[in-house]
Structure 1
Amino acid sequence: MTTGPGGLEAQPTATTYELGDLVPLAWGGRIRVPHFQRDFRWQSEDVLRLFDSIVKGYPIGNLLLWVRRQQPEQFMLGRLRLTAPAHDESLWVVDGQQRLTSLANALSPEGHPYKPFNVYYDLAAKEFVESPHSPEPHHIALPILFDLKKLLTWFRTDGLAASDYFDEAERVATALRQYKVPAYLVRQDDRAVLTDIFDRMNNFGRKLNRGEIFSALYSGEEEGADERLTLAKISDNVAARTGFGSIDIGTILASVLARRGPDPMRDIRVEFSPAGRRTQSEFPDEDEPTAFSQGEEALVRAVNFLIREAGVPHIALLPYRALLVTLTRFFAHFPEPGPNNVRLLRRLYWRLSLVGPMVFRGSFTQFSRTLGGKIRPGDEEGSLRAMLDTISGAEPVAPSTDRFRTNEATTKIILSAWWSLEPRSLTTGEVLDAQSLNTLLQQDRTAANAAPMIYPRLGDPRSRLSPANRLFLPTNMDPVSEIPAAIVMQPLEIDDPTWDAVLASHQLDRDVAVLADRDRDAFLSMRQERIREQLGDFISRMAEWGYEDTPTLDSLNLDDEFDELEETDLPAAPEGY
């Protein structure tokens, strides 16, 4: 029988909080999240569903709060930087972190601007929505709706045109403020008891993923937790340093593990315990902080390769996360590969994007283990050749252009091809850079917000879901609700050569663009053919199927007489190599 911490010294106390009281407690620093908790992982749809449930009066689950003494301290709750005063009965969240963090941020003016907390209420449609690209008078931000004084001021000023909806706004505002949340208060000094409760609750309900378990196992003591590097902080740091977007914790963990050994799916419970490991770490004397910091550096190098060499500007355009894990391992051992090896690595990336799932049967584990095992420390050339050999028998394939779904690998490949065209704004003519894309997508898992439909109400599903019915517009400044008109009408401030470049960046020219308002079928058919051709050219250029995967001259065992040749005496490389 397993032994563990002793039980609770006293039974939990049951109570209820109205949101009008609970949320200000969080803003005032009275509610905290222990550092052993899982990282915040809700997406926009989760936050929208939470508020929808509240207004409909549905239960959103109990909170479990740990009552303990707290010294004054500054801390982060989601996007909010808060100051916790000294208090004998601060409330630490054991269960309910995602809900409380969402409520505190979405209802706060400081947290509301950031995804996934940028929630509005559509008074006309009577539903919660993400921040609209172009807010209408009947869209009201949650921090205004939650504060009665601000709500009344809003209807006298910005919301004057929405005065017919005052009753609906008052109904929702009252429902929010008066909604009752049940909570259990636990008074217990032993941290081990609380982590045991946390573990059991998650195993009885929604289980933690590997990244969350790893974070809890190696969380350390509460003291100094803010200064320690964690998987979540690595994700934030990589996003800030590269503009690549937010990498999920599972991929961060797999990348950190891949750097230290070929199998990123190995047992995480003995990662820093040499006695319990089945295989020797490639960095045996490394402690946890060093493993984390060096893992971050390898990840940054891998991401920079994707952005600068492979033409993948954001994680939303990455077909398979296993590719990033493999690249992190490669750049951990070979931080500065030679120019030819960079080119071979680009070929490898694109060939794996196209045929990897067929060769490795679509398995992240098989993909990562096989390729990780081919990367041998100290042998850059051999590692590259071994990885290329794993797909040498695969036939070249072209991704299908039959449908466009931003959560599918094929569509992410299409978007990378479109990115190579340097898409331009329809209103300014300027090239839309990676910073614009990152600002638009923020923490989005897909590029849906950067690829609006041209005709969202097409009756034919095949045409509506085809790539030809999408534009790659990585900006929130262009009028996505009026794309056909924007394609047809050249802005007065854009000259003819620039407008031609704008159209070309979206696989259009003046002859095709003029059809956008006149003949939708012809417009989509002609653009679809151009998309097919451009995608084929892009894949041919990036995957280089017809080239021999030869090593650099430096790795060949040449006769001594060739060592004496001047560089100008060497044979010319084949055209295009």
Structure 2
Amino acid sequence: MAMTLNSPLSTTTMDVESLVGMAWNGQIRVPSFQRDFRWHWEDVRRLFDSIVRGYPVGSLLLWVRKADEQRLRLGTLDIDAPASTEALWVVDGQQRITSLANALHPDGQQDQRFALAYDLRDEQFVRLPKVEDPLVIPLPVLFDLQKILIWFNHHSGISDRLEQASGVTRTLRQFQVPAYQVRQADPKVLQDIFDRMNNYGKRLSRAEIFSALNDQEVAGQLTIDLIAEHIASDLGFGTIDGNTILQGVLARRGSDVKRDIRDEFAVNGDEGRDAAYHEGEQALRRAVAFLQQDALVPHFSMLAYRYLLPPLARVFAHHPNPDPRNRRLLRRWYWRAAVAGPQQFKAGTGDAARMLCSRVLEKDLSSSVQNLLELVEQSEHVLPDLRSFATNQAATKIVLCSWWAAGPRNPDSHEQYEISDLADCLVDRTTARDAVRYLAPNMSVTKPYRPWAANRVLMPIVEIDSEEVGLRLVDKVVTDEASWSKVLESHAVTDEIIELLRVGALSKALEKRRELLTTHLQDFLQNMCEWGFEDTPSLTELVLDDEEQL
């Protein structure tokens, strides 16, 4: 029988003030089949810009039904939601509701995606400034009538702008959002509606399908999105995509990470869903810690290939504490596989994770590591080309890891950057682009040199103009010569290069720096891959017969 709604849709409009209030008090919930929050800062800015211009922002589809008491997460907000007989579950409109609730709440502004303010001079939404500017009003202040009056009382010099600001406040609070509400519908019908409204034939990812099949609206239940969030917040590794998280969870339970997932816990019923998620998260945590500490891959945006993470999760699921020798061999394997790339697998990246996971044995660590090493060639490979730099490419990610291994230092504090600095700079970013700055203003460099890695430096500084960093290195007034030399050395910059930049000999400066970076990259990869070394297992793994030795 075809799926249909068993009750008619009711239509209404909700002003932003009411909608945000319901989100903050927990009356609005997000069902399990919804995708995670995917918008970036610019998407949020465009939403608010459309509102003040009076443009339509689309309608909402809300499912009216019972909800248990729970502590829920909406964007960056933690909300204690009471039980309700008529909670509003978002079938369509999650990105918009999450953006409104977070950007207009003081706590939401801690997340760079929601850190917006309104510039009264230019009459536009801008990033929240670090230093308070009376004419640039944070959204949580602008949204609250009492707070806006306090703001103008505190900044008496801008009293002539009060009417302008109040007008924006009224527009924001009173803007009407159309909404459809449906009651007593079959969850499968709502999921079908959601899929049709958001995809128009575009397939859901495996992780989204898996979540829809297995997740329930249970307070405190671990999900794929929560695993990614935990690893990002606790380890500073950035947000791992849902499909890679899913493969990590599946890899622990079986080597075929591409298997049919529709009946995962019915077929492999040796443990429940919650236990599988919990143990999968622990395995992924150990794998990420290995990448950060041993392999010197500090952030997910610098992982050469995503398919290399699930087999590591399988290793650390069944062998939580590898001995030092096997950890070293695992490091060799990761870097040899990263440099060799997916061409080593005939099936390409699609089946790479399955092939690698099949080599990991549940009760034999040494054989598992040896099996993985056998899949990658021992001989050296062509190094990444430093004349091309793109943070979404594996070659550049390898280069960035080599720069991180050099211990890059902050030009202001002279201290080495920490993983937390990367995490803060790359919030909600899939590449490391925002942590990379130009050494010389890129438009000042002749066209053939603009793509070069030699004109980039790794400096994860939040909210700073990219080209300003290079000027800091060139025009820095040095008070501590030894400390400043360490800063320059950490970025493969010499006094000679600084002088060439200062006199405008940019091409020559980049040629010199490329030579330094090439040598450093060669040394880094040799140390990581250890080409030419014997890949023998740990001595504790070697069982010899005494008589045979004699």
Pairwise CA distance, 1:243: 2.3
Gaps spanning 5+ residues in structure 2: where?
Answer: none
SS of residue matched to 1:143: helix
Q: Say if 1:468 and 1:122 are closer, same or farther in 2 by CA, change over 3 A.
A: farther
**Structure 2: distance between partners of 1:72 and 1:231:** 21
Query: What is residue 64 of structure 1 aligned with on the other side?
Result: 61
Q: 1:209 aligns with which of 205, 208, 212?
A: 205
Gaps spanning 5+ residues in structure 1: where?
Answer: 275-280, 565-577
Question: Given that residues 133 and 476 in structure 1 are in contact (C-alpha distance below 8 angstroms), is that contact kept between their aligned partners in structure 2?
Answer: no
Q: Say if 1:113 and 1:170 are closer, same or farther in 2 by CA, change over 3 A.
A: same
Query: What is residue 521 of structure 2 aligned with on the other side?
Result: 535
Q: 1:29 aligns with which of 26, 29, 37?
A: 26
Question: Given that residues 437 and 470 in structure 2 are in contact (C-alpha distance below 8 angstroms), is that contact kept between their aligned partners in structure 1?
Answer: no
Query: What is residue 396 of structure 2 aligned with on the other side?
Result: 411
Q: Which amino acid aligns with 1:19?
A: V
SS of residue matched to 1:15: strand
Is 1:230 the counterpart of 2:201? The answer is no
Is 1:261 the counterpart of 2:229? The answer is no
SS of residue matched to 1:110: helix
Is 1:333 the counterpart of 2:329? The answer is no
Pairwise CA distance, 1:548: 3.0
Query: What is residue 434 of structure 1 aligned with on the other side?
Result: 419
Is 1:291 the counterpart of 2:276? The answer is yes
1:464-475 → structure 2 map (5 Å cutoff): 464-475=450-461
SS of residue matched to 2:527: helix
Q: Say if 1:340 and 1:103 are closer, same or farther in 2 by CA, change over 3 A.
A: same
SS of residue matched to 1:82: strand
Pairwise CA distance, 1:469: 2.1
Q: Say if 1:562 and 1:126 are closer, same or farther in 2 by CA, change over 3 A.
A: farther
Q: 1:186 aligns with which of 178, 182, 185?
A: 182
Q: Say if 1:173 and 1:562 are closer, same or farther in 2 by CA, change over 3 A.
A: farther
Is 1:119 the counterpart of 2:119? The answer is no
SS of residue matched to 1:111: helix
Pairwise CA distance, 1:377: 2.1
More moved, 251-260 vs 20-29 = 20-29
Q: Which amino acid aligns with 2:523?
A: D
**Structure 2: distance between partners of 1:304 and 1:84:** 34
Question: Given that residues 70 and 219 in structure 2 are in contact (C-alpha distance below 8 angstroms), is that contact kept between their aligned partners in structure 1?
Answer: no
Is 1:305 the counterpart of 2:290? The answer is yes
Is 1:483 the counterpart of 2:469? The answer is yes
Pairwise CA distance, 1:295: 0.6
Pairwise CA distance, 1:104: 0.8
Question: Given that residues 27 and 87 in structure 2 are in contact (C-alpha distance below 8 angstroms), is that contact kept between their aligned partners in structure 1?
Answer: yes
Q: Say if 1:208 and 1:119 are closer, same or farther in 2 by CA, change over 3 A.
A: farther
Query: What is residue 463 of structure 1 aligned with on the other side?
Result: 449
Q: Say if 1:452 and 1:518 are closer, same or farther in 2 by CA, change over 3 A.
A: same
Task: State the Cα RMSD in Å.
Answer: 3.1
**Structure 1: distance between partners of 2:157 and 2:526:** 57
Q: Say if 1:14 and 1:436 are closer, same or farther in 2 by CA, change over 3 A.
A: same
**Identical pairs, percent:** 45
SS of residue matched to 2:356: helix
Pairwise CA distance, 1:422: 0.7
Question: Given that residues 359 and 394 in structure 1 are in contact (C-alpha distance below 8 angstroms), is that contact kept between their aligned partners in structure 2?
Answer: no
Query: What is residue 12 of structure 1 aligned with on the other side?
Result: 9
Q: Say if 1:505 and 1:25 are closer, same or farther in 2 by CA, change over 3 A.
A: same
Question: Given that residues 425 and 432 in structure 1 are in contact (C-alpha distance below 8 angstroms), is that contact kept between their aligned partners in structure 2?
Answer: yes
**Structure 2: distance between partners of 1:295 and 1:180:** 44
Q: Which amino acid aligns with 1:551?
A: P
Is 1:251 the counterpart of 2:244? The answer is yes
Pairwise CA distance, 1:504: 0.3
Q: Which amino acid aligns with 1:211?
A: A
Question: Given that residues 65 and 91 in structure 1 are in contact (C-alpha distance below 8 angstroms), is that contact kept between their aligned partners in structure 2?
Answer: yes
**Structure 2: distance between partners of 1:118 and 1:19:** 18
SS of residue matched to 1:37: coil
Query: What is residue 552 of structure 1 aligned with on the other side?
Result: 538
Per-residue Cα deviation, 1:392-445 (whole angstroms, up to 9, x for no partner): 277612011112222222221111101111111111111111122223323322
More moved, 473-482 vs 252-261 = 473-482
Per-residue Cα deviation, 1:83-116 (whole angstroms, up to 9, x for no partner): 4456554322121112111111012111122132
Q: 1:380 aligns with which of 361, 365, 379?
A: 365
Is 1:271 the counterpart of 2:264? The answer is yes
**Structure 2: distance between partners of 1:128 and 1:419:** 35
**Structure 1: distance between partners of 2:118 and 2:388:** 32
Q: TM-score, normalised by structure 2?
A: 0.89
Pairwise CA distance, 1:253: 0.6
Is 1:39 the counterpart of 2:55? The answer is no
1:157-168 → structure 2 map (5 Å cutoff): 157=154
Query: What is residue 147 of structure 1 aligned with on the other side?
Result: 144
Query: What is residue 98 of structure 1 aligned with on the other side?
Result: 95
Question: Given that residues 436 and 466 in structure 2 are in contact (C-alpha distance below 8 angstroms), is that contact kept between their aligned partners in structure 1?
Answer: no
More moved, 166-175 vs 287-296 = 166-175
Query: What is residue 387 of structure 2 aligned with on the other side?
Result: 402
More moved, 38-47 vs 152-161 = 152-161
**Structure 2: distance between partners of 1:136 and 1:458:** 31
SS of residue matched to 2:518: helix
Question: Given that residues 356 and 367 in structure 1 are in contact (C-alpha distance below 8 angstroms), is that contact kept between their aligned partners in structure 2?
Answer: no
SS of residue matched to 2:537: coil
Is 1:517 the counterpart of 2:509? The answer is no
Question: Given that residues 79 and 111 in structure 1 are in contact (C-alpha distance below 8 angstroms), is that contact kept between their aligned partners in structure 2?
Answer: yes
Question: Given that residues 344 and 376 in structure 2 are in contact (C-alpha distance below 8 angstroms), is that contact kept between their aligned partners in structure 1?
Answer: yes
**Structure 2: distance between partners of 1:525 and 1:326:** 39
**Structure 2: distance between partners of 1:526 and 1:191:** 63
Please identify runs of 4+ aligned residues in structure 1 that moved more than 6 A.
133-137, 163-168
Is 1:501 the counterpart of 2:497? The answer is no
SS of residue matched to 1:471: strand
More moved, 80-89 vs 428-437 = 80-89
Pairwise CA distance, 1:13: 0.9
Pairwise CA distance, 1:64: 0.5
**Structure 2: distance between partners of 1:382 and 1:86:** 52
